[in-house]
Amino acid sequence: MPRTHDITGLVLAGGRGSRMGGVDKGLQGFRGRPLALHTLLRLQPQVGRVMINANRNLPDYAAFGAPVWPDGLAGYAGPLAGFLVGLEHCHTPWLLTVPCDTPLFPTDLAPRLAAAAAAQGADIAMAAAPEPEPDGGTRLRPQPVFCLLRASLLESLQRFTQEGGRQVGRWTAQHPCAIVAFDQPGDDPLAFRNANTLAELHTLQGQAAP
């Protein structure tokens, strides 16, 4: 099973922030800290190393104390561009990706994904979280930006993106992938709630337990 020191954590903060009016999402405040810093500090105890993927305001991100890598793909190509640059700079056997806009993600994310990858012999472990259905029930929905990836997948992702591929799910479907449900007793129902707008960010901050 991958251990803490076998995993590099990557905070994905390279988006346009279109639904936040174009602001740099990772630098918006949450609990008195920039979102990306809050995410970095939550991730750090779970992994051996950390780094950040960002495309703007690089000195601000560098001030958080972790290496910062911008996309190698042009035009804000989405999460896979972050995955790619993360794998290119990953010096451990595994890379764990988390987005900067989901600040309440589980503090045991890495060990649970690692355990599932080991148990199933998978190259990828992806989180899944319960989502309300119109009929009042719930369904498990994969969270493709919460991925534990074997570093050896770099060449596969390079080929996929060079051919124009940009969807995380289409690429991960090419490899053995363990889906890990975060719906156990004690799991926070807000753990995978992301903030796409400033209003959603303020709401999430109000809902979150101190």
Each of the 210 residues of the chain gets a pLDDT tens digit; together they read 899 999 999 999 988 665 666 789 999 999 999 999 999 999 999 999 999 999 999 999 999 999 999 998 887 778 999 999 999 999 999 999 999 999 999 999 999 999 999 999 999 999 999 987 788 778 899 999 999 999 999 999 999 999 999 999 999 999 999 999 999 999 998 999 998 888 888 888 887 665
Q: Take residue 123 and report the two structure tokens written for it.
A: 């190259």
> What is the Cα–Cα distance from 49 to 166, expressed in whole angstroms?
26
Nearest to 19 by CA among 196, 205, 201: 196
pLDDT at residue 77, as a whole number = 76
**Domain residue ranges in the chain:** 4-207
- Single-letter amino acid, residue 151: A
Contact 151, 90 (CB under 8 A): yes
Q: Answer for the pair 83, 169: CB distance below 8 angstroms, yes or no.
A: no
For 147, the token pair is: 């991925």
Pick the CATH number of 4-207 from 3.90.550.10, 3.20.20.370, 3.30.70.660, 3.40.50.1010: 3.90.550.10
Q: Taking Cα atoms as reference points, which of 152, 131, 147 lies closest to residue 179?
A: 147
- Helix ranges, 47-197 (H): 58-62, 79-88, 109-120, 154-162, 168-172
Q: What is the pLDDT of residue 210?
A: 57
**Residue 49 C-alpha from the chain's centroid:** 15
pLDDT (0 to 100) of residue 18: 59
Task: Round to whole Å and give the CA distance between 123 and 155.
Answer: 13
The position carrying tokens 């810093």 is 37
